[in-house]
Structure 1
Amino acid sequence: MRLVPLGSTGIMVSAVGFGGIPLIRLNFEEAETVLRHAVDRGVTFFDTANRYVDSEEKMGRAFAGLRDKVVIATKTGQRSAKAAMEELELSLARLGTDYIDLYQPHQVSKPEELEALLGPGGAMEALEAARTQGKIRHIGITSHSLAMARKLVATGLFATVQFPYNIVETEAADNLFPEAKAAGMGILVMKPFAGGMLDDGGLALRFLRRDPGLLALPGCDTVEQVDLAVDIFAAEADWTEADEAKAQAYRDELGSRFCRRCEYCQPCPQGVSITYAMMYRVVAKRMSPAKAVKFAATTMESVRNCLDCGECATRCPYNLPIPEMLREHLAMFDSHKAAQ
């Protein structure tokens, strides 16, 4: 596995990293198998977050005795100094380490969040103190808002920026990535599979492999997925006309108004299965409407409980009009059901 610099941090990392969200689906033994296989294949960069249920604990157990072989990144969603320090201490305990290589305030996408983060008593005060104490080596930042991500890069306060980028979400390449590179920042790519909507993993990773300045973080929960990522990033970049045609087909299918399955919108107070209901249009196209009706019946029937309170939309980092989209998908489901 090739090693590449993580921006100007002085840290060398594997050419592809490992996203920790899918570890939630595994038990501790299964997670250890996947994580240690990744280390054996040369992956050195592992990204997780305090809010990813038990992902940190699973990494901590898997990396016992391997701390010098891995670069660990984790995150906090807290904006105050006190709460951020509490989460940092919790992450250190869960990961079984006395330092974290890259600590990132998570999902800073609104002006008021940035103000709270950087203002008096804000999380940055605690993180800078923790860096002085040696508990953090470097401070990065993550966002789902392009405009905010560019503002965060311009502050000069962060060593890395983590942002969604994939076949169908390419806007960051026009300005965010060049600005981050000019500032000497490392660029971490979240959502390489568009939240699972890109079902051709090889195609999605080959697309990212073309830019050696990006560190892709594919989420893996099997050794086969690890092998796919490693094999692609260990090879020369290869992007064919056939690949571009497939990529364009995904763009035509998904557009820009689709759910990335981040699940920030949940839970719904009325029990609506928001994430899976938001996928109905794509499921119906890939399965056929007749099969989709049977497959998604329970999910789509839960949409009838929606009171249009809009709480889910306020939590969506992509600003999707979730209630409106749920109504559209329910109408489609009902039409498919009636046609049987």
Structure 2
Amino acid sequence: MQTRTLGNTGLATSAVGFGGIPIIRLGRDEAAALLRHAVERGITFFDTANRYMDSEEKMGQAFAGIRDKVVIATKTGMRGAKEALEELELSLTRLKTDYIDLYQPHQVSNPEEFATLMGPGGAMDALVKAREQGKIRHIGITSHSLEMARKLVATGLFATIQFPYNIVETEAAAELFPEALARDMGILVMKPFAGGMLDDGDLALRFLRRHPDLLVLAGCDTAEQVDQAVDVFSGDSVWTEADAAKAEGYRQELGSRFCRRCEYCQPCPQGVRITYAMMYRVVAKRMSPAKAVNFAGATMETVRECVDCGECATRCPYNLPIPEMLREYLALYDSHRQEAQ
């Protein structure tokens, strides 16, 4: 397994880390077994968040007795001191630990949020005090906005930056990553599979392995996925012209206007299954019309309940025009229904 030293933190970790969202789909014992398997295969960095349902609790169960063998990162979405500290204490309890290796204000994507975070009564002062008390070892930050992420890096206040990077979303490599490295920051890569839109996990991970300064967070819910991630970041790896051509094919297919399945848009007050409906374009490209309709029919029928309130779009970190896109996909679905009859 390749290793990384996470910026100036001194934390030595595996080059691929474990993203904690997918384990919310697993039972507690099943999740604990998977996390232990990841440790046995050499993964030492585990990333979760207070809001990832019971992900923290599952990690707490899995790492009982081996806390010193893993590096744990978690997050808060709160910008105020009181609320952030409440989430920190809850995370410590759930994770069954008395310290967090890396604590990150999550999804700071506009100047107003940053001003609240840093201002009087903001979370940052509270987190610095928690670090002085030993409850936090290092403070990082995450964002989905490239412009904001660069501003966060420029402050020099954070040990790490976590940002999306994958075959399709490559903008960070030009300026954000070099700027972070110049400040000796650790770089955590989220969305390595573009929110599940890249169905060739081996290709997606080998693309990222070419960057020796990145710690890649691969979300896994099976032992096979863990093994694939470990195998890619162990031994030799070659990036071929055929790989580059396939990667370009994904870029042409997805463009920049696609859902990353972060689910910040949910829940919909009308019951629309937004996340899965937003995948219909890709589903339709990979299946016949009849199969696409059969596969996604129940989801696409919920789109008819959309009242175009726009609430989902205000919560999207990628600023996607979600209601507009849902209408497009519903029209495509309806055309496929007619074709399949």
The answer to whether the Cα contact below 8 Å between 2:34 and 2:223 also exists between their aligned partners in 1 is yes
Match of 2:44 in 1: 44
Provide the C-alpha distance between the structure 1 equivalents of 2:277 and 2:42, rounded to a whole number of angstroms.
38
Once the two structures are superposed, the pairs formed by residues 79-158 of structure 1 within 5 Å of their partners are 79-158=79-158
Shift of 1:294: 1.4
Match of 1:319 in 2: 319
Indicate whether 1:31 and 2:26 are aligned.
Answer: no
1:109-136 deviation digits (Å, cap 9, x = unpaired)? 0111000000111000110000000000
Unaligned 5+ residue runs, structure 2? none
Task: Give the partner amino acid of 2:71.
Answer: V
Give the number of equivalent residue pairs: 340
Match of 2:217 in 1: 217
Indicate whether 1:302 and 2:307 are aligned.
Answer: no
Match of 2:238 in 1: 238
1:199-240 deviation digits (Å, cap 9, x = unpaired)? 000000000000010000000111111111011101234211
Shift of 1:2: 2.7
C-alpha distance 7-237 of structure 1, shift in aligned 2 (>3 A): farther
Task: Give the partner amino acid of 1:224.
Answer: E
Provide the C-alpha distance between the structure 2 equivalents of 1:296 and 1:93, rounded to a whole number of angstroms.
39
The ranges of structure 1 where at least 4 consecutive aligned residues each deviate by more than 2 angstroms after the TM superposition are none
Match of 1:293 in 2: 293
TM-score by length of 1: 0.99
Provide the C-alpha distance between the structure 1 equivalents of 2:169 and 2:236, rounded to a whole number of angstroms.
23
1:18-74 deviation digits (Å, cap 9, x = unpaired)? 100001011111111110011111111000000000000000000000011000000
Provide the C-alpha distance between the structure 1 equivalents of 2:294 and 2:68, rounded to a whole number of angstroms.
50
Match of 1:278 in 2: 278
Task: Give the partner amino acid of 2:221.
Answer: D
1:156-192 deviation digits (Å, cap 9, x = unpaired)? 0000000000000000001000000001000000000
Task: Give the partner amino acid of 2:154.
Answer: A
Provide the C-alpha distance between the structure 2 equivalents of 1:54 and 1:140, rounded to a whole number of angstroms.
22
Match of 2:56 in 1: 56
Matched position secondary structure for 2:317: coil
Once the two structures are superposed, the pairs formed by residues 246-261 of structure 1 within 5 Å of their partners are 246-261=246-261
Provide the C-alpha distance between the structure 1 equivalents of 2:21 and 2:255, rounded to a whole number of angstroms.
25
CA RMSD of aligned residues (A): 0.7
The answer to whether the Cα contact below 8 Å between 2:289 and 2:339 also exists between their aligned partners in 1 is no
Unaligned 5+ residue runs, structure 1? none
Provide the C-alpha distance between the structure 2 equivalents of 1:297 and 1:232, rounded to a whole number of angstroms.
36
1:242-288 deviation digits (Å, cap 9, x = unpaired)? 11111011001000000011110011011111111111110011012
Match of 1:78 in 2: 78
TM-score by length of 2: 0.99
Task: Give the partner amino acid of 2:34.
Answer: V
Task: Give the partner amino acid of 1:291.
Answer: K
Indicate whether 1:3 and 2:7 are aligned.
Answer: no
Task: Give the partner amino acid of 1:24.
Answer: I
Provide the C-alpha distance between the structure 2 equivalents of 1:167 and 1:317, rounded to a whole number of angstroms.
19
Provide the C-alpha distance between the structure 2 equivalents of 1:290 and 1:172, rounded to a whole number of angstroms.
39
Match of 2:190 in 1: 190
Task: Give the partner amino acid of 1:266.
Answer: Q
Higher mean C-alpha displacement, 289-298 vs 323-332: 289-298
Provide the C-alpha distance between the structure 1 equivalents of 2:9 and 2:31, rounded to a whole number of angstroms.
29
